[in-house]
Amino acid sequence: MKKEFKFSYHHLASVEELNEDQKKALDGAEKATQKAYAPYSHFKVGASLLLNDDTLVLGSNQENKAYPTGLCAERVALFSYGAQQKDQGIKILAIACAGELINPDEFFTPCGGCRQAMAEYTEIQGKPFEIIMKNGDGSILVFEGVHQLLPFIFGSK
């Protein structure tokens, strides 16, 4: 039997259409790109978690001479949150990128490994968090939760 999986997202024309929480999270992600260490790819990524207590946890991609040793911005932010045993819960995860490699015609969406990490923290808090990302053309994608980004998540119930 053939079945279908449907997912939905919001595509907003610019930051002007975001609410205050979303703006705060995205602003954090853009600031975080300045701390990216990307001498090999030259692709700087910033991630920001807006927690339920309205604080931000920032992350950026950190590369290494031995390439697989590096880590994406989203996981740096999520693992930092986990390592500090923050139990406030995550409201929004925002992602932004910077540098001359940005292509205005492409969406910037998180890699599969980061989606799986988002799934883990969603399961921990028992509640989805929004995932928003800014594209090269300044438009924004908003996903209501990781289930809208990763079908058939490993370990999903």
Per the annotation, binding residues for substrate are: 61-67
For residue 106, what are its two tokens?
């492409």
- Catalytic site includes residue 16: no
**Single-letter code of the amino acid located at 129:** F
Tell me the C-alpha distance between 143 and 145, whole Å: 5
111 contributes a contact to ligand THU by CB under 6 A:
yes
Return the number of the residue (56 or 114) whose C-beta is nearest ligand THU: 114
Stretch of residues binding ligand THU (CB under 6 A), selected from 1-9, 68-76, 125-133, 143-151: 68-76
> Is 74 among the residues that bind ligand THU (CB under 6 A)?
yes
- Smallest distance, ligand THU to C-beta of residue 129, A: 16
Return the residue of 15, 21, 23, 41 that touches ligand THU, per CB under 6 A.
41
Catalytic-labelled residue, pool 74, 106, 123, 130: 74
Taking the least distance from each CB to ligand THU, the nearer of 87 and 151 is: 151
66 contacts: CB under 8 Å, gap ≥ 6 = none
| Window of 18-26, 107-115, 125-133, 136-144 that interacts with ligand THU by CB under 6 A | 107-115
59: which 2 tokens?
């992350």
- Cα dihedral 10, 147, 132, 59, rounded to 10, equals -170
157: which 2 tokens? 């119930």
Q: Binding ligand THU by CB under 6 A: which of 61, 78, 121, 141?
A: 61
Cβ–Cβ < 8 Å for 50, 56 = yes
Tokens of 5: 């999986």
- Name the residues annotated as catalytic: 74
